[in-house]
Amino acid sequence: MILKQTNLGNGIRFVEEENIIALISDKPLTAISSAIHNGGFTKTKVIANTQVTDEYGDVNLHDDPESFIIKTYNKLGLNEEFVGMVTYAMVKDFKLFSKSDQEAKVTVIATAGCTHAESAGEKIEFAKIEGTINIMVLIEGNPTDSCLTSTIITATEAKTAALRDLDLRSRWSGDEATGTITDAMVVAKTGEGPTITYGGPASNLGQLIGCCTREAVKDAVINAKVGGYPANRSIINRLQERHLPITKLSTELSKAKSLGLDEKVIAARLTKLLDEDPTCATLILAAAKLDEDIKKGLIPPQFGDIKQASEKFAEKFNIRHDNNANQKKEKVDNIEGPLVNLSPFIKEMLLILLRNTDR
């Protein structure tokens, strides 16, 4: 028995049943997808997204995904052939977003778990999968086949934009994420109404898809119980996502003889600064961003020598914060940690901040 049904109109229902969610249409839909079951171009009345159960396991899924998807799909009690995706994300945490104009109505349903976020083009070592981003796009309209294909590009761009809205990072490199290693997408049309030729980001249809996908994916990532990334996560977490955990920072900074502090003391002081001092947190994020721009070759020539620029940047914020919250500027000597293996801006800023904390 189906636990919950939502009527989307036009003879289309959205259903939820234990570990499966699905779109069910009275009339055949034309779909294009990267789904593991019946992917590619096809006609279907059912599009399903199935959550892997704990007892099934990653190895069994990899060896025989079809049997799992079909077995789970049978819970819906339908005889229709279907297009099926699979995910480790919790499907009950799905997010649905709809928008329409005079040409079409677009509904996007997204599930997300981002433990294996990646940045396309980097070296990736396969690991056990515990989450993915799956997207269902329903177009109540009549795009051409080429237009329908184009909308997959638009929806994918919107997915990546959602991840960058949240500053999501690659598990492998710490770079800005473009997706997860096993994302899947289905775009389907009813084929009713006037012909729609364009589905790119600037077209009417593309703007509907882009908006709906970006919002649905972003909300799904923020609210996922497993593999989710709240928008307001701490600065410490965001540094760790950049592969800059407190342990690494404290180990490197302990090499700076000018500080005279061991790793444990540095770790405690950094944690306190980043947890309790908004100004410090802001400066560290700014420094991390500048270091990313260096890595990408985006630093303008006006910066001149990067080492000198990073030192001057840190000196501009050479501020001591007393316990009574009054701020006093304090002139200090130029601090250099030649043995500290950190990127220049974050290294110089952390050295300044640690020099000015109470011992």
Q: What is the mean pLDDT of residues 96-114?
A: 97
Q: What is the mean pLDDT of residues 292-307?
A: 94
Does CATH place domain 4-223 in 3.90.1530?
A: no
What local confidence, expressed as pLDDT, does residue 134 receive? 98
What local confidence, expressed as pLDDT, does residue 188 receive? 98
pTM for the structure as a whole: 0.91
Tell me how crowded residue 261 is: count the other CB atoms within 10 A of its CB: 19
Tell me the pLDDT band of 58, cut-offs 50, 70 and 90. Answer: low
**pLDDT tens sequence across 257-290:** 888 899 999 999 999 999 999 999 999 999 999 9
Tell me the pLDDT band of 3, cut-offs 50, 70 and 90. Answer: low
What angle, 0 to 180 degrees and rounded to 10, lies between the N-to-C axes of helices 344-355 and 306-316? 30
What local confidence, expressed as pLDDT, does residue 325 receive? 35
| Closest alpha carbon to 173 in 115, 123, 231, 237 | 123
Cα–Cα distance, 332 to 319 (Å, whole number)? 10
> Both tokens of residue 271?
């944690």
Phi/psi region, residue 287 (left: phi>0; alpha: psi -120 to 50; beta: rest), is alpha
Q: What is the mean pLDDT of residues 108-114?
A: 96
Residue 105 scores a pLDDT above 60 = yes
Give the start-to-end residue ranges of the domains of the chain: 4-223, 235-355
Residue 358 scores a pLDDT above 70 = no
Q: Within 13 Å, how many C-alpha atoms sit on residue 154's CB side?
A: 26
Q: What is the mean pLDDT of residues 114-143?
A: 90
